[in-house]
Amino acid sequence: MKYYSLNKKAKEVSYKDAVIKGLAEDKGLYFPEIIRKLSSDFIDNLEQYSNVEIAFEVIKQFVGDEIPEIVLKEIIKETLSFDFPLVDIEENIKTLELFHGPTMAFKDVGARFMARCLGYLNRESDKEVTVLVATSGDTGGAVASGFLGVKNVNVVILYPSKKVSEVQEKQLTTLGQNIKALEVKGTFDDCQAMVKKAFLDTSITGKMQLTSANSINVARWLPQMFYFFFAYKQLQDKLKNVVFSVPSGNFGNICAGMMAKRLGLPIYHFIASNNINNVVTRYMQTGDYQITPSHQTISNAMDVGDPSNFIRIQEIYNNDFNALKEDLHSYSFTDDETREAMLHIYKTSNYIADPHGAVGYLGAKKYLKKYPNTQCVFLETAHPVKFLDVIEPVINKIIDYPPQIKAIIGKTKVATSISTYDELKSFLLDK
């Protein structure tokens, strides 16, 4: 499999090079040259396969022969060492829980897969790779956990000061070893801009190999296709149109869902559910794509004003706005609406949704008002324990720490504070 840059000004590369480079020399995101549909027989009989078998069929064309099948299957088995239950919420609405991994967020799938792929692809090299990543919340913890102790890989995580939850911060600042955290005085967009600038700074890249573990990296992004297949496998009624409502920030998740549809999974429609950082909602209404500064909300992982993966979505639909509108609705919701949704779900279904899942639920509810004869699945992307300061006052209930969180919550935060790109550059080169 070859990968090309979406800026179309860099040479095609192998899967290995796409993973290790992360971003093309022309600043473009990598995209697979070919997307082959899976057999209809496989799709029609998903119930007969394990999650590991499904994931292998889904991903193998994108890896090619660069990782032997036996190794790839073991990587997938280690990646998917937890469950992905589909839970009934109310009529025509279910949620897919993606938070049963080690850091209790959906990003465990991509981070664990990428870490194991990178470890294998770099196994014979003495050259260290530095994973440089920006996080708006859950990416940092998932990447820190996934890459902890991986040979010849150092991890540097940038996160916006006072804009992630206590649990999220502890998950990315307490592990030590090859994991370093930089607390940035600014927003997620500031963190992401620094990361992108570093990738293009030859005074850095000439001295060290950088790669990213954000969803801009193909090894982080593509495995997110898996759980759309896992959800469909669990649906009892496969004759009724299925719609996925995806809480969307950097748009890696919903973009992966659209890739799953390209592979033949019969997804009827997608809903991009935004908080007030709603560049895509406005685009779908007006056809005018305008990035904006991000604003802080209670669904902080979606506080993105310049979503990186939207260019991949445009590529999937050949930059045809009308074709995209056939498959995508997008809605935007405020913090007050999100709180009301969390309380409503708890009172009516005895289910505790995190703020991001609640935004996904609101998108499903709004869509069903116009299209009632569909079944909606919203993604529950993180365990509610990550947002205790938001959820507990809303539902008036104390949420107990699960074992994964108890293990880190009492540890001491270790992070270096920075404000400027020059400080990031000095940290990387001094390191």
Catalogue the active-site residues.
107
* C-alpha to C-alpha distance for 314 and 312, rounded to whole angstroms: 5
Is 246 within 8 Å of 305 (Cβ atoms)?
Answer: no
Q: Sort 370 into a burial class: Cβ within 10 Å, 0-12 / 13-18 / 19+.
A: exposed
- CA angle 270–29–193, rounded 5-degree value: 100
* C-alpha to C-alpha distance for 84 and 371, rounded to whole angstroms: 27
Is 306 within 8 Å of 278 (Cβ atoms)?
Answer: no
33-51 burial code (b ≥16 CB/10 A, e <16):
eeeeebeeebbeebeeeeb
239-270 burial code (b ≥16 CB/10 A, e <16):
eeebbbbbbbbbbbbbbbbbbbbbbebebebb
> What is the DSSP secondary-structure string of 106-134?
THHHHHHHHHHHHHHHTTT--S-EEEEEE
Find residue 95's DSSP bridge partners.
Answer: 87, 378
The helix or strand, by DSSP H or E, that contains position 44, with its residue range, turns out to be helix 40-44
* C-alpha to C-alpha distance for 82 and 230, rounded to whole angstroms: 12
Positive or negative: CA dihedral 203, 209, 214, 215: positive
| 373, HSE (Cβ side, Cα atoms, 13 Å) | 1
Q: Token pair of 280, please?
A: 């895509």
Q: Sort 208 into a burial class: Cβ within 10 Å, 0-12 / 13-18 / 19+.
A: middle
